[in-house]
Amino acid sequence: MSTTGMTLIDTLRSHVESHYPVLYLVTHEEPEADALIRTLAADGERRIVEWNLARGLVDFETRQPKAAWCPLTDALDNLLQQDFTRDTFIVIRDAHLGLRDAPVAVARLKALIARNLADDEHSVTIFLVSSQPCVPPELEKFITLFDLPLPDEAAIQGEIRKYVDAYGLTIEDGTLAKLTNAFQGLTRYEIGQLINRGFQQDGRIDLDDIDLVHAEKRQIIRKSGTLEMLEVRERLDDIGGLDKLKPWLKQKAAVLADWPAARAFGVEPPRGVMIVGMPGCGKSLTAKAAATLFNLPLLKLDMGSMMGKYVGESEANMRRALRVAEAVSPCVLWVDEVEKAFVGVGRGGGGGGGADVATRLFGYFLTWMQEKTQQVFVIGTANDVSSLPPELLRKGRFDEVFYVDFPKEAERAEIFRVHLNKRGKLGQRVLVDRLAKATDGYSGADIESIVKEAIEQAFVAGGAAIDTERLLAVIKATHPLRDVMKDKVKEYRDRFDAMKIKEAA
């Protein structure tokens, strides 16, 4: 469902005119959906019939009940018995609540669709409107889903100006631009609420109100249940090695820091980076350090929490999570263990099985990556590329794909330096070059454990010095991850080689 090149109203109009039976509008902004439906109805002088869960069958404009309340099942029965004498729109609001676990409603809706399709004289279009999609499998082939976009920059500016005018205030261009940026990803309703609160506090609409916006966005994340906001302090200097990845990230940081100017200059919007490679070699560390470097909030997407038990629920969860990320934009969205989320993509046999759901989730994610307009910088991390669908690694999704291998000698020296230094133990008595030589095949995580273990042993030994010998003794007593996971490591490396992914170091 792409509306690229056409406005949403044009796309909807062409669907109505081509007799698509059910158009599902997914939105948190019902007034926007109503406005679209109203405009389309006016095109053809269509009658509008509405059912909503709160009041049953109502007048679309006044929302006044037309009869005693009835459940969707009865409303559909009533509609099935009516002969339509003119072109009609049937609006079912709160559609997900009306259709979920309601087989009779689903069956009657199917019957109504069949009747409408057979009606040669009048065109009848059903609009399902709700904040989340619920597409019963029986109706899947009749339904076309549309996500109503959140307000864009121009719409947000319009909204701010509306309040500024109403309160008889003035606003500087710079303040307007910054507020517009901060309001990205919120609904008109949320924007209105925040402006009102800001105005109540000090009688102004100004940059102080941005704090309110951030608080609101934190609320949205907490309510989402699928995203976590991480507090990070890691810096690029905490990473030993990866000397191709670091300058790359610095360049992106420079672009993101001055995005309006970069865009005006013709720079493409940064999409994100995929980091694949050996376990314990700094992928997660890099995601965190990148967020600090970009000076942006870091959101972690929990793929496990995505999977729902109803058809369409997993997709709805994903949709909501990505919406939330957009609401918090500009931000970094870290998708850890990408390979686990999309296991079985392309191997679905239909029928709504796990692999099928993964394929749809994946498709949605790719389209979103491709079309996202908000500043959400995605960092994907994965060990196992074998289960990753190749489309994900193809150019154009991510700006770059990096492969993180076990650190080489010089890098290991640096990693020792980082971890000893961090703990105030990088003294003259530690020769990191000797440690690096002795740790062929050790990961960054192995090296960190060695440093920690040596410090603990030194403490237990009565506060002894941390020197090369002590560290070498710990090294001798441990096995590097590469040996422990020999077969897996070989498998990963062969694949990375075959895919010719750029090395991060």
Residue ranges that bind ligand ATP, judged by CB under 6 A: 239-242, 279-285, 381, 383, 407, 415, 418, 444-445, 448
Nearer to ligand ATP, 297 or 444 (CB): 444
Distance (Å) of CA 387 to CA 172, 345, 369, 381: 52, 8, 19, 13
Nearer to ligand ATP, 205 or 418 (CB): 418
Residues in the chain: 505
Taking the complex as a whole, how short is the minimal distance between the CB of residue 396 and ligand ATP, in angstroms? 25
| Choice between 16 and 275, CB closer to ligand ATP | 275
423: Cα within 13 Å, side-chain hemisphere: 16
Q: How far is the CB of 234 from ligand ATP (least distance, A)?
A: 8
Sequence-ordered list of residues with C-beta below 8 angstroms from that of 14, at least 6 positions apart, any chain:
6
* CA distances (Å), origin 18, targets 48, 67, 90, 124, 144: 18, 32, 16, 11, 12
Least Å from the CB of residue 137 to ligand ATP: 36
Closest distance of CB 243 from ligand ATP, Å: 10
Q: How many CB atoms lie within 10 A of CB 487?
A: 7
- Which stretches within 139-226 are classed as H helix? 153-166, 173-183, 188-202, 209-224
- Nearest residue (CB) to ligand ATP, 159 versus 411: 411
Residue 178 and residue 207: Cα distance in Å, rounded? 8
Q: How far is CA 139 from the centre of its chain?
A: 27
Please tell me whether residue 241 adopts helix, strand or coil conformation.
coil
Nearest to ligand ATP of 226, 284 (CB atom): 284
Between 184 and 383, CB nearer to ligand ATP: 383
Instruction: Name which of 285 and 357 has its Cβ closer to ligand ATP.
Output: 285
**Least CB distance to ligand ATP at residue 246 (A):** 10
* Residues 6 or more apart in contact with residue 269 via CB below 8 angstroms: 259, 263, 373, 375
Nearest to residue 301, comparing CAs of 238, 249, 377?
377
What is the smallest separation between the CB atom of 43 and ligand ATP, expressed in angstroms?
54
Taking CB atoms, the residue at the shortest distance from ligand ATP is 444
For ligand ATP, the closer of residues 3 and 449 by Cβ is: 449
User: What is the spatial distance between Cα 470 and Cα 393, in angstroms, rounded to a whole number?
Assistant: 43
- Cα(482)–Cα(224) distance, rounded to whole angstroms? 38
Q: What's the closest the beta carbon of residue 446 comes to ligand ATP, in angstroms?
A: 8
Rounded least distance, CB 505 to ligand ATP, Å = 8
CA dihedral 329, 331, 336, 338 (to 10 degrees): 50
